[in-house]
Every structure is written in structure tokens, then in C-alpha cells.
Structure 1
Amino acid sequence: MRTSNKIPLNLNGMKVSVIGGAKSGLAATKLLKKIGANPFVSDMNKSADLSPLKKIDVPFEKGSHSDKIYDCDLMVVSPSIPQDSDIVMKAIKNKISIISEIELASWFTSIPIIAITGSNGKTTTTTILAEMCRKSGLNTFESGNIGTPFSTIVLKNLNNNYYDAIHIVEVSSFQMEQIQYFKPKVAIILNLSHDHLDRYGTMKSYIKAKLNIVYNMRSDDHLVYNLDDKLLRESIKTEATLVPFSLKNQNNLDFSLNESMVYDKMGEKFLLLDEIKIKGLHNISNFLAAATAAKIIKIQEKAIKEVMRTFTGVPHRLEEVRTKNGVAFYNDSKATNLESVKVAIKSFNNPIILIIGGRNKGENFKDLQNLILSKVKLVIAIGEIADEIEKEFEQSTIVKKGSSMSSAVSIAHKNSLRGDLVLLSPGCASFDMFNNFEERGDVFKKEVMRL
């Protein structure tokens, strides 16, 4: 919620509470300190490592949130803190302005922003587009949900006057909850599917948070969106110029395709589909989204083609680990919702041994029944939801439970035959067993390499 119509660029001497001392919280704090604000950091985790704050003389507390957090003019909240939390509600009652780290960083950069969101494919598309921009000679800074906080990049460039530069920022629904003035020059929305319902309760609330990305966009800005996604198509409300991409439609698009070829807007041959290295129609869709945005900012066609020909994917997203005795092992740990699992399963023709499970985010595993029945020879259930998965799929296929990633990989190996494919595609959050999806994927790869 805005407290004025003007971005408060002068925060010198302002008291700012930063709630959450993880990566983005620390990055926001360092930026605040640099611009002359007086930040105070509070983290509920008593074991949080806040030692970097001592080096820049920033006070902090951990293990609980005291009333000190409300002695401020501005509050920067972690993406992990829901907008209906007690902290946010009390801050609103006290008339404290609340923003996200993404919002804060956007105040202190003049470099144009391309922001990318969607239920699936964000990191892949962000990486593809950043590579296209680099190949074309732009100073390119990727940040956000992809790993490096936006504030970290903005702080590094605070005193640099770039002429040809672009921010490529991956944003999640959590990061978009507390925005006021954040306004990308180009936004990309890849898709909308059930996700984070454990936080939002309803799809309507989830979609509302996602679509905050276009809240401040005007007619001279551009929204690149997936024309094939009916839910997204019907949900968009924006003043921005709409620029669709599609796997199916061939009319008046920057790129279109048939079974073997990508064509440009003039209907000229652009690229053979066989030249694209990464698997799955979903990745073709990601390429089209990135290429469409690249065209808007005048990226050279040569650079777009080169990246489409050479890009091999991102870690933990349908990542080939190894083939042993004719059995392929793939790491898709970044699949944290069921739509991602569906996409992964559809990407292969081999009989699949599926390792799935973790902490459920409010989704219904019945949605996987038909795919499990037709393409999966063995389900290995892991994590908190293992019992529920076993009950759901035991009538459709063989189900075994793995008490750890090591045991899951061992079960998969012992039950595999030449030509099978072992796929880790959890469809759940990782926090019941691991610190994050990266650790989950790394442990899977380590166990596979031990076989």
C-alpha cells in the first residue's frame, strides 16, 4: 500500500526495520546502510548467522521479534513472511510503510528492468534471456528469486553510470506481495498453475499476488504473456502493451512454430527445433518467451539464435546426472509443484521410476493419477507426505517409500532395468528434509554418482 505518490529516494537517517536476516534481508540491510538509513534487523531463527551485520555496525536481534521492530518509519519484510502475518498486520495498524527487498532495490537503480514470473520456468527463462542480452553486448545483471538478491546488484552498481545495461529479475509471488512503485519496462508472465496454496488458500489470492508485477505498468511498457494459458489470459488486467507468445497460435506473433521449425514474424525460417538442446515443449515455450522479450529491447537475432542453439539448461531442472548400465538419472529438484512434475514426466518416453515427495504445498496428488498410470513403472515416496503418496498411487502402480535420499536412490537403482529412467521430481517443498531444493538436488546427484 502506498503512503505517497513519490518514491522516497532520500532515506538518510530514516529508521528502517528489516524483518528476516537471510540472503535478501542482509542484502537489503547493506543497501540501506550505504544510502544512509538506520536499519535494524530482526530474525526469528536463533541460529541465524547475522555476523556480517557487526562489520557494518547494524544492530540486530534473533530468536524472536521484539517491539523494537515497530520503532521505524519503513519496514522491509522477508518473502517468507505472509502479508496476513501478525507482524504485517500490526505494522499496518501502526501506519508503517511496508515493502519487499525487490521494491527497495528498484528505488535506487535507473537501469531498465525486465521482470519474469510464472508458476514454472522462471529461472530457466531468466537465464536464457540474460544470455541473449550478454551475447548482444548489453551489461546484463540477473538477480532476484534466481539466487542473487536484487539489492546486492543495485548496491554494486550504485555509483556506476551504465549506458547499455539491463536488469533481468526473477520474481516470485512472495516477492510481489509488498510492492509500491516497482515497475518493470518489460514483464514476462510464463504461466499460472496451482502453487503455494498452503500460503494463499485460494488460487484467486495467489493470482492476485503474481499479477502485482504489472500493477504500475503503463502503455509504454510491455507485458509478454503466454497466450496458451487460458487462466493467465483471462486474469490479465493492465495498461501495458500486450505481447503474446504461443506454441499453438501462428498469427501475428514474433515467433511461431510447427513440428520441426521456429519461424519469425515474417514467416521466414528462424531455427530448426532439433537445434535446441534442452528437452520438453515447456522449454520451447520458455525460449519463445525470452526471445519475444529480447525482440522488444532490440536484441540482435544472431544473439537470440546462438543462445537457443547452445543453452543446455539450469541446475536442478531436468538436469541429466549420469547413465549407468543403460539407466538414465535426471535431477529435477526444482520441481516444487505438481505442474512441474507433469511437465517433467511428459518430457520422456522411457519407463520412469519417479522419486517424489517432501512437504506438501496444498496440492492434490490425484492430479497426477493418469500420468502415473501411463508412464511411471515405480513411485518412490519421500518426506512428510510419503504416506499420503503411497495411499494415492498404490492402485495405479508399484509404490515404495524411501526414508532418505540415499535409500530412495538405492531403491530406484535396484528396481531399474536397461532403458529405464530415474527421475527426481519431488513436486513439493524441500524443507522437511533439506535446507532448500538446491541441497536436495545436490544430495540426489551425490548419491547417484556413488552407485
Structure 2
Amino acid sequence: MQTPVQSFAGQRLAGQGLTVVLGLGRSGLGAARLLRQQGQRVLVLESGSNEDLEAKAEALRVQGIAVQLHTPLAASSFAALAERPARVIVSPGIRWDHPALEELRAQGICTDGEITTAWEALQPVPWIGITGTNGKTTVTHLVAHLLARAGLDAPMGGNVGRSAAELALERLMPGRPLPAWLVVELSSYQIEAAPAIAPRIGLWTTLTPDHLERHGTLDRYRAIKRSLLERSAVRILNADDPDLRSHAASWEHAHWVTAGPRQQAQSAGIEPHLWIEADQVIGPGGSLLDARALAMPGAHNRQNLLMAAAVGLELGLSGAVMEAAFRSFPGVPHRLERLRELDGVCWYNDSKATNYDAAEVALRALDGPLVVLAGGESKQGEAGGWIRELQRQATAVVLYGAARQEFQELLERGGYGGELVSVEGLEQAVPLTRELAARHGCRAVLLSPACASFDQYSDFEARGDHFRRLVQAL
């Protein structure tokens, strides 16, 4: 027996012709299976060809999904198809302005991001959409944890955990109930490819220069993030972020939160919805909960707590329920994750810090002196604040990966005065870091790369998992 959503989706999508899904990654697999479940004819095009991809392709073919391997993303590949596609589904890793996609649009062929398939399939379910340069993953986990502890069925997915399409596929299986809410982390790549997504509640944590190699300018990057909030019925924004605060006057309707006192926000022309005074979270009705409820270090985590609390207020949760949930929050893997204490030194995995700003936040959150591990695949950005925090907090920096020479020159030019060591990878870095921490009497070791991971790892999770294994083996 079909659920109402399955019936609705089937009626709306029937007779739309062939849908082409690009790529056999996690998001592509989820989208292909979800569309097939809804009765669509699906063809997956994959540029690679190896044993693993062939196994994935065969599994899809068994489910009635056609797959072509070794098919490059080019206009000629689409021209060679026996049937002109009605729609093409794009994974986040593919540039939205790729020449082949631009050619498809010029021909009148619809192109959509993978996450759009989940939005369409779960249309009756309200979304909580969370974006931002930094902080979005922690806030996504916090909101999902808060709602779960309050007894609400609100699974988490998108740019973190399972893809939204995988989540939709699971919840649309016969006999499965629809969730009450969906908590979705959305990257700029996903937002620009999914203009149809309009969350019931939208959250914007921070904005600093990132992904400029993809989006070109900060203004373009900002506009993509902003578009999600403009389509959200309820908008929650961080008044402590300098960029968001500087554009506060352009928002007519928004719920601003600040980890500082109310008067401080008001002096910047913002009337906060939630604020902190005397270690209490204060809202329109007075004191709500203890601002120290989160065990995670750093002032930025108070901002994260406030954003999650603002969602809780929208859903009618009491301050007592929210405080209890925050106190039980275990933290987020790879984001200032405390791994262990060894010989009086704490080891932290902050592999999620893939840019200068995120790494700077981590340095401010911990008590020094520190030994810091940094490196990987470098990204565009302003490094001045990061270097100043390294100067203040780190007695030694161990550089590794593709960026190690670039970072060494960057830190030397920036006047960093601590010890600098360069190695190939984390296998060499971890034991060396232990020696440096003992020699300099450091309180903690921090992996906070300030880089993407793709020089040596598939993603930042793989990098953080490797670091965790190396540290636990010491």
C-alpha cells in the first residue's frame, strides 16, 4: 500500500520521460534509487570505470536502473544517447556552471541538484535548513539531538550523515512513517543547484570567504547562502557574525541571536530574539536555560546553542527540555572532538576545519600552549587571523600534505615565531607531535588543518578517522 507521499509523487512525476543522474557517488546512488522508486526511468552516467564502480552499476541494474560507465561529462555524451533526457540530476561535486550543463540548459533540458529529488519526494514534511561557512555541522547535530530528546521524529541528513535522497528513500518504504521534521545541512553547492527548496525554518550560522575557487566572488557566495534564508518561512541568523551583522538592515523579518548581552546587539541596530546575560539564555519571555549547558569549549558554541534553542522555541519546547538535551549532547565527530588525554596532554580532532576561519575559531576555543597540525589541499582565503592565533596559542606547528611548503612560507612571512616542522603525512606527524608537546610543555595537541583533505583523503571524515586511529595507537 502506498503512503500519501508516494501516491502524490507518483502522480506528479509520471510521464516525465528519461531522467539522467550524473555520478555513482553517494548522492547519485541515492537520487537514482529514489527516482526509480517513484516509477521514473533512470539512466546513470559515470565518467569512471573500475571494479568498484562496476559492482555499484550492477546493483543498480538489478533494480531496473540503466548505467553507463566511462562516459565523460560532455555535450557529446548526451548527444550520443538514444533518447533526449527530460531532466538531469547533478551531484554537489560537479560545478553548477560546467560547460556541459550550460549546454543542456541552452537546449531547454532541466538540470537540478540531487537534493531536489528529496525535497520533491518528501514535500509534505517541513524542513529545517541549516547553512553557513562554519558552524553548520555542529548546529545541525545540535538541532537533531534537541528534537530527538524532545520526542520528535526529525532525522538528519543532507551535507552531513546520509544524503537527503537516501533519507527520503528510507522513509518512503512501505510501512515507514513520515518524519515530523527533516533537519538538513545545506552547502552552497547544494543550495545553488536547488532553487526550489524552501525550508519552514532556515538557519544561517556564519559567512566568511570560502569556496571562492568555485563561486568566484564573496558576493556570489553570500547571495547563494542568502537565497535559502529568503525562501525560508522563519529565518534565524547569528548576530555575532561580522558579515551577517553588517547586512542586518537588509532583512525585514529575521530572528537574530547573540551570545552577548541584548544592549550590545541593539547598539548594532539589531533587536535580538535570544541573548545571554549572567550565563542565562534570555528570550522574549525571560530566562530560558543555562548558557553553560554545552560541555563543548569555545564562545562560538554558545552561538551554536542559541541557534538550536531558537528552533526549539519555534517548535514550542520548554527551556527545561532544551537545557536537559544540551547537557546530554555528546559533541560532533571531527569538530573539536576530544580524543584522549595522554601524559597530561589532551588530543583534539578538528578535521572539519577546512579553511582558515574555522581553524582560527578552534585555536580561540582551547587553552594553550598547543602543538597544532595543519595541512592538506590549500584553499583561497584570508590567513591573517589564523596566523595571529597560532602566534598566540601554538608553540609549535607541524605541517603536512600538499600545502606544507606553501604554509611554511606563509607562516614565515606572517611572522610566526614558534617551531615549524614539515612532514609528508599524519603517520609521521603524530609521533613527532607527541615529542614536541612534551618538549614545550603543551596542554593540548590540535589537528586543525585549515585545508581541504583531497590531497591524501576522500574527505575530512576519512582524515579525522585516520588521525583518531593514530592517536589511539600511541
TM (normalized to structure 1)?
A: 0.92
In structure 2, the CA distance between the partners of 1:8 and 1:288, relative to structure 1 (3 Å rule), is farther
Give the alignment of 1:94-173 within 5 angstroms.
94-109=107-122, 110-158=124-172, 165-173=180-188
Checking the alignment, whether the CA contact within 8 Å between 1:247 and 1:257 is kept in structure 2 is yes
2:284 is aligned to 265
1:60 CA drift (Å): 1.3
Paired residue type of 2:209? H
Question: Structure 1, residues 371-427: CA drift from partner, whole Å, max 9, x if none?
Answer: 121111111111111101111213412211121111111210111124431100011
In terms of mean alpha carbon deviation, does 153-162 or 187-196 score higher? 153-162
Q: Does 1:91 align with 2:114?
A: no
Give the alignment of 1:215-254 within 5 angstroms.
215-217=230-232, 221-235=233-247, 241-250=253-262, 253-254=272-273
Q: 1:323 & 1:64 partners in 2: Cα distance?
A: 49
Give the alignment of 1:330-345 within 5 angstroms.
330-345=348-363
Give the alignment of 1:6-405 within 5 angstroms.
9-12=12-15, 14-47=17-50, 48=53, 49-65=56-72, 66-67=77-78, 68=80, 71-109=84-122, 110-158=124-172, 165-217=180-232, 221-235=233-247, 241-250=253-262, 253-258=272-277, 260-268=279-287, 270-273=289-292, 275-394=293-412, 395-396=415-416, 397-405=418-426
Q: 1:106 & 1:238 partners in 2: Cα distance?
A: 28
Task: Report the secondary structure of 2:470's partner residue.
Answer: helix
1:313 CA drift (Å): 0.7
In structure 2, the CA distance between the partners of 1:74 and 1:272, relative to structure 1 (3 Å rule), is closer
Checking the alignment, whether the CA contact within 8 Å between 2:370 and 2:437 is kept in structure 1 is no
- Please state which structure has a larger fraction of its residues in helix: 2
1:17 CA drift (Å): 0.8
Q: 1:98 & 1:236 partners in 2: Cα distance?
A: 33
Paired residue type of 1:267? G
Aligned alpha-carbon RMSD (Å): 2.4
2:3 is aligned to none
1:166 CA drift (Å): 0.5
Question: Structure 1, residues 219-275: CA drift from partner, whole Å, max 9, x if none?
Answer: xx10101112232244579888411111124265443213533334333362152x4
In structure 2, the CA distance between the partners of 1:116 and 1:269, relative to structure 1 (3 Å rule), is closer
In structure 2, the CA distance between the partners of 1:215 and 1:242, relative to structure 1 (3 Å rule), is closer
Q: 1:322 & 1:291 partners in 2: Cα distance?
A: 30
Checking the alignment, whether the CA contact within 8 Å between 1:223 and 1:240 is kept in structure 2 is no
Paired residue type of 1:168? V
What percentage of aligned pairs have identical amino acids? Answer: 27
TM (normalized to structure 2)?
A: 0.88
Checking the alignment, whether the CA contact within 8 Å between 1:263 and 1:271 is kept in structure 2 is no
Checking the alignment, whether the CA contact within 8 Å between 2:371 and 2:444 is kept in structure 1 is yes
In terms of mean alpha carbon deviation, does 50-59 or 238-247 score higher? 238-247
Paired residue type of 2:446? L
Checking the alignment, whether the CA contact within 8 Å between 1:9 and 1:107 is kept in structure 2 is no
Aligned length: 442
Q: 2:220 & 2:420 partners in 1: Cα distance?
A: 34
Paired residue type of 1:141? P
1:161 CA drift (Å): 8.2
Q: 1:422 & 1:231 partners in 2: Cα distance?
A: 31
Paired residue type of 1:271? D
1:3 is aligned to none
Checking the alignment, whether the CA contact within 8 Å between 2:360 and 2:385 is kept in structure 1 is no
1:363 CA drift (Å): 2.2
* Structure 1 stretches lacking a partner, 5+ long: 1-6
In structure 2, the CA distance between the partners of 1:239 and 1:253, relative to structure 1 (3 Å rule), is closer
Q: 2:471 aligns with which of 436, 444, 448?
A: 448
